Amino acid sequence: MGAKKLFADPVLLLCPLRSFSSVVCAMLGRHPELYGMPELNLFLDDRLDELIIRHRRRPFRAHGVLRALAHLHDGEQTEAAVERAKEWIWLHRTYSTKEVFDHLIELVHPHRVLEKSPSTSLLPGRLERLFRMYPNAAILHLTRHPRSTCRSMLRLVPRVGSTYEDGDEPADLAVHGLEPEAIWLRSHRNILDFCGRLPQHQWMRIKGEELLSNPDTVLTQVCWWLGLKMDGAILHSMRHPEHSPYACLGPRNAAFGNDPGFLTNPAFRQGCPEKPGLDGELEWAARTYFSQDTRDLAHRLGYD
């Protein structure tokens, strides 16, 4: 029996939902040494058959992995290719979710997989699963100001319903209950605790606002950290996330896999995002102001 092939550990972007993660992942995924995946949501369970059952309640969560399998197996994202991806998943339902992720890693070799699923950071157990599967993964911690994040969550929920709510997991119910601050706080606390266990060289934090306003500098810093080559042509390519195969709506049976707003308008628009403050009333909560815990964590992440 031959020796097991060795592939590069993935780059995993961790953040709460509505943190610019779709555009950031697509931009970085345009680097010629990386492969930007859609949201795979593979760290929710240990086994693929468990994940299949979960996705029956929230089928949109399977769209990313279905689109990736369709594109990498068949070279297209058509309804027929997605149906074949569903068949592949069913035939391999005894796989662990790590075996599925490893399959995708092998399919894109020699590119290095870059993936982001905001669902991963909602519960510490999911981050523990990530660590068990890929203890040497490079972790990119992406942040966004809590006020603009929460406003963005509120804009998403009326558009797609309780999209990020897991009916069987009370920890995820904050989104369904329209408590976006709880999601922002919980996710970043989990990520900070997780990164605190890692060697300093294994993780990096970036502000989404800084990448959008000064992309060349931030993208160069991330690539330097990952040991990737960089030149003007690569920077130009990374400024065009719309060229990602997952930067558009998919076929009817797997339309999503990324933020719906990004999928309908994926072009990068450089500019300085809003600079909201921590003071002032909140338009989405019964409480008038951010909690002290949120304010303290925001200050820790560099937000005023």
Does 4 reside within a domain? no
The phi and psi torsions of 85 (rounded to 5 degrees) equal: -65, -40
Confidence of residue 164 (pLDDT cuts 50, 70, 90): very low
Does 5 reside within a domain? no
Confidence of residue 5 (pLDDT cuts 50, 70, 90): low
**Residues of the domain holding 63:** 11-300
Place of tokens 């707003």: 261
- The count of domains in the chain is 1
By the 8 A CB rule, do 275 and 162 touch?
no
Residue 170, pLDDT above cutoff 70: no
Confidence of residue 157 (pLDDT cuts 50, 70, 90): low
Does 1 reside within a domain? no
Does 66 reside within a domain? yes
Does 6 reside within a domain? no
Give the pTM.
0.91
Does 2 reside within a domain? no
pLDDT tens digits along 182-211: 999 999 999 999 999 999 999 999 999 999
Does 226 reside within a domain? yes
Q: How far apart are CA 294 and CA 175, in angstroms?
A: 16
Confidence of residue 288 (pLDDT cuts 50, 70, 90): confident
Residue 169, pLDDT above cutoff 60: no
Q: What is the CATH number of the domain that holds 57?
A: 3.40.50.300
Does 163 reside within a domain? yes
The lowest-confidence range among 74-83, 158-167, 240-249, 274-283 is 158-167
Place of tokens 């998943």: 89
Cα angle value 171/164/21 (rounded, 5°): 110
